[in-house]
Amino acid sequence: MPGLSDPQIILALDVDTLQEAEGFVDKLYPKIKIFKVGSRLFTAYGPQIVERLHKKCAEVFLDLKYFDIPNTVAGAVAAAVRLKVKMLTLHILGGQEMLKAAVESATRQAEILKNPRPLLIGVTVLTSQKTKPEEVLALAKQGLACGLDGVVCSAKEALFLRRKIKNNFIIVTPGIRPDNSGKDDQQRTATVSQAIKAGSDFLVIGRPILKAPDPLLQTEELLGDLYGAGN
């Protein structure tokens, strides 16, 4: 299946304080190399959290799901490029003009800074919502046609997209849970093995690690599932 040759786990830093976030990075890096910063942390600390993670040599997935008029999103994406994040998200429902403006802005800013352009990942339908695979497919095709590098979708839709879209693109899958874990507020969850077999490249995991009695042990178990998924 197209995608990355080496799938990775991303830890969602859905915590309240900078100290908590840094504590998890200290415990889990470099077993986990990419950490997701969403609206919760970024609203509280802004670019400071990204800079702190970079100082610890970690990579950042900036998950702010940009959705606004094209000029506003283009400016936000340019700012994210200056922060040297590895990945960022945009809502595909923002439309073609917004998506194309974001791609153009990211490419131009990366060229100015002579830095790699972040991976631009389109949000299809949130995994807390129910949807039909055909709806996700239509959104994914629209986003990729506008120049995005990949999409966010559940493992269920990942398999469907891999079968329907033949060109190379990245799939980021949230809602990853261990076999013995509950769904929390996610409607469309999957285990590590299920997501990898479906064709996901990046697996976003939050509460199963954050709330574990031993986050490091839980991470090692999930990485064991990841490395064994292809066997």
Please tell me the pTM assigned to this model: 0.93
pLDDT score for 126: 76
221's tokens: 């178990």
Q: Which token pair is 59?
A: 């990579």
Q: What is the pLDDT of residues 163-175, one digit of tens each?
A: 999 889 999 999 9
Q: Map tokens 């002579």 to a residue.
A: 114
Of 65, 86, 141, 197, catalytic: 65
Residue 47: both structure tokens together: 């670019």
| pLDDT tens digits along 79-135 | 999 999 999 999 999 999 999 999 999 999 999 999 999 999 999 987 677 788 899
DSSP label at 92? G
| 166 catalytic per annotation | no
The domain ranges of the chain are 8-228
Domain 8-228 has CATH 3.20.20.70: yes
Question: How far is it, in rounded angstroms, from Cα 82 to Cα 69?
Answer: 20
